[in-house]
Amino acid sequence: MRAVDALMECLKAEGVDVVFGLPGGANLPTYDAFYDAGIRHILVRHEAGGGHAAEGYAKATGRVGVALGTSGPGATNLVTPICDAMMDSVPVVFLTGQVRTELLGTDGFQEADTIGITMPIVKHSVMIQHPLELPRAIHEAFHIARTGRPGPVVVDIPTDLSRADIPYEPITDIHLPGYQPTTDGNQKQIRLAAKALANARRPVIYAGGGTLDASAELTELATSDRLPVTCTVMGLGAFPASHPQWLGMLGMHGTRTANYAMDEADLIVAIGARFDDRVTAKLSEFAPHAKFVHIDVDPAEISKNVPAHIPIVGYARNILPRLTAEYRALEPDPSRLDEWWHRIRSWQERYPLSYVDSTDSEIKPQYMVQALYEASQGDAIVCSDVGQHQMWAAQHYHFDKPRRWINSGGLGTMGFGLPAAMGAKVGCPEATVVCITGDGSFQMNTQELATCAQNGIDVKVFIMNNGYLGMVRQWQELFWDRRYSQVDTGQYPDFVKLAEAYGATGLRLTDKHTLVDDMREALVTEGPVVVDVRVAPEENVYPMIAPGQPARNMVG
Amino acid sequence: MGEPGTKEILSLEELEAAGSFRTGRKHIVSILVENKPGVLTRITGLFARRGFNIDTLAVGPTDDETVSRITLTLDGAVQSIDQVTKQLHKLINVLKIRDLDPSETMARELALFKISADGANRAEVMQVCEIFRAKIVDVSKRTLVAEVTGTQEKIDAFERLVRPFGLVEMARTGEIAITRGRTET
């Protein structure tokens, strides 16, 4: 069979049920194979949309996403999703077309050095050099993408090789001598960690995106005693936000309680988190009293930013049950945490997340998220873009389950939200999928509304429209003497008309009194819906750790 | 140092002080890799991204034809090179990395020197070569080419001595290294 037909067999063997892509000259053979391969292909309107859709699919389902693009511009358009997937450890396989081998390096039409361009932002990449290599390369790509610390893998396929006739035999053995991730965690280290935890008087569990597939195990550990839990923006939902041991998100726009608890903790158990600068704030004054247990599958994260006293390398889902068992066996005295909880409760009472509501019908952006939480009964998959709306959504939409909150945390990619929501909905057709976006972010991949309309992908987009690139405006207001430089978007375009032009339903909401009901209606309207919610233009995200400050100096 | 996103103006001195990675402590890093396209680029890219300057680089086969050895030397860093070696380990085609301890390591480099040697000073140049056990591998009317093997320091010393005669050009391989005794490199 042709190498591209073998490619289809490989995708099926990997359990791929959907791919997102856009054809072009160099991947014509691949698209010919898709014609009757029986794999669902969703035609996106821009490769970046396809890449983010594959990410949204992967983040919502936990399975490997697949995105395709042609050579040259098709591949360069995928660069942002590839980098985004790298930063947030999202398992995605990117299949790019490449010019035929005799044109390689000659500046052929639509030629780009895809492997070279993407090298620093992939978990792994390979250009097929011989058609017989293709099946193994595909299976290795999936294996590498999904195991260890997940991430993006690029497979670049020259068009002539993809048409070669090759014998195909299923491949079941993958052997990569240079890739043997440590997944189990060292028992001695686990015992040490349990002991440290049992002796701690002010412990905090700090959980990141690496706990999304260890949610039950994380909850079990935390509730085996009264261990307080905070999550990063990537980890929201790994521990139920409705649980009394939940401190809220931590970091730059986290709760005071979570940040103060980190600041005063004597032991921090970091699980699948990487001490990002948005979490530590001023690194030299981060958690000054704490010892650190650091559990992560990636050894390069251990002691990268904060030296770990007890490092444990492996999957959280493998390590946490054993840590819980060791901890229980020590029969720690639960009353030693009384004083700590007393202090935590006093912060929670003094510093709840709050804002000043309008006295008229004006919609405050925070209220917009609360209204959406109410209208969707807190049970939606929420995809967000990047900016103020992202932080408000993270603060005010409470996630009780993992994989319900999908955002671009590491790279902070505006334009991520709509295509990610599209991918999440395709992966979870039964779920209500909403996209909370800003008027700035939404315009960076609006074209995917056409994909949603054409394929009946039922996403509900709620635009927090304040007519500004709001987060930049906030920083200019607070730290640059209110010199608003190039942040006013003038509330263009008319999103209702735009939605209609794309074949979606468009709505505009301006009154907070009817907001919940109006949103409910939007949610039950069939097909993709775009809701232009006009909100207070100059609201700021608080609380906030100002740049260069330690967490204890939070403002607002 | 200035905080990102704030309007504080940074002085050039501060920036330069913070950007200085060099300490002078030399590292010899030996890396075994699968013999696949692009491996070398991935490795050098990781060093470049973190501001390390690779001084020398040597690549060659090993006793296993599917495996190559890359030996590179670096001027050390304020931060340890641990972070880079951990990142190197994450490359799929990298099999093994050793940050070699200079005192436990035999390191050798080969160099070719083309030296001006017309009549008058030829004998003197040849004498220096003899002291350094350099082999003369080519002679012409005005020049000779000397091949010298040794540690980086020995080759540096040879260079200093022959330079006054007129050094036409020079080529060096960069060091390769292997551990002393039975321990594997």
pLDDT tens across A5-45, in order? 999 999 999 999 999 999 999 999 999 999 999 999 999 99
CA B84 to chain A, closest CA, distance in angstroms equals 9
Chain A residues closer than 8 Å to B38 by CB: 115, 119, 125, 127
Cβ <8 Å between A115 and B86: no
The CA-based diameter of chain A, rounded to the nearest angstrom, is 73
For residues A438 and A535, give the distance between their C-alpha atoms in angstroms, rounded to a whole number. 10
Cβ <8 Å between B94 and A178: yes
Number of A–B residue contacts, CB under 8 Å: 51
Asked whether the predicted pLDDT for residue B74 surpasses 90, the reply is no
Residues of chain B with CATH 3.30.70.1150: 106-179
Give CATH for domain B106-179.
Answer: 3.30.70.1150
Chain B residues closer than 8 Å to A129 by CB: 37
CA A183 to chain B, closest CA, distance in angstroms equals 14
Interchain CB contact of B22 with A (< 8 Å)? no
Superfamily of domain A3-162: Thiamin diphosphate (ThDP)-binding fold, Pyr/PP domains (3.40.50.970)
Cβ <8 Å between A547 and B41: no
Enclosing H/E stretch for A540: none
| pLDDT band of B3, cuts 50, 70, 90 | low
CA B13 to chain A, closest CA, distance in angstroms equals 20
| pLDDT band of A491, cuts 50, 70, 90 | confident
Using CB atoms and an 8 Å cut-off, which of residues 101-160 of chain A contact chain B?
A: 115-116, 119-120, 123-125, 127, 129, 144
What residue segments make up the domains of chain A, in order of their start?
3-162, 187-350, 365-534
Query: Where do we find the tokens 């280290």?
Result: A189
Chain B residues closer than 8 Å to A178 by CB: 33-34, 91-95
| pLDDT band of A201, cuts 50, 70, 90 | very high
For residues A49 and A42, give the distance between their C-alpha atoms in angstroms, rounded to a whole number. 11
CATH architecture, domain A187-350: 3-Layer(aba) Sandwich (3.40)
Residues of chain B with CATH 3.30.70.260: 12-100
- Residue-averaged pLDDT of chain A: 97
| Nearest to A372, CA basis, from A527, A529, A512, A516 | A516
For residues A287 and B32, give the distance between their C-alpha atoms in angstroms, rounded to a whole number. 39
Instruction: Evaluate whether A3-162 and A187-350 have a shared fold.
Output: yes
Average pLDDT over residues A121-136: 97
Residues A406 and A424 sit within 8 Å (Cβ to Cβ): yes
| Nearest to A554, CA basis, from A327, A346, A258 | A258
Residues A56 and A91 sit within 8 Å (Cβ to Cβ): no
Give CATH for domain A365-534.
Answer: 3.40.50.970
C-alpha dist (Å) from residue A209 to A150, A213, A235: 11, 9, 4
pLDDT tens across A310-358, in order? 999 999 999 999 999 999 999 999 999 999 999 999 999 999 999 999 9
Q: Nearest residue on chain A to B87, judged by CA atoms?
A: A300
Chain A residues closer than 8 Å to B87 by CB: 300
DSSP state of A364: P
DSSP state of A441: H
Chain B residues closer than 8 Å to A299 by CB: 86, 89
Q: Which of A363-367, A426-430, B102-106 has the lowest mean pLDDT?
A: B102-106
Nearest to B92 among A119, A178, A548 (CB): A178
Q: Which CATH class is domain B12-100?
A: alpha beta
Give a three-class secondary structure readout of A477-501. Answer: HHHCCCCCCCCECCCCCCHHHHHHH
Give the per-residue pLDDT at B2: 53
Chain A residues closer than 8 Å to B62 by CB: none
3-state secondary structure of A506: strand
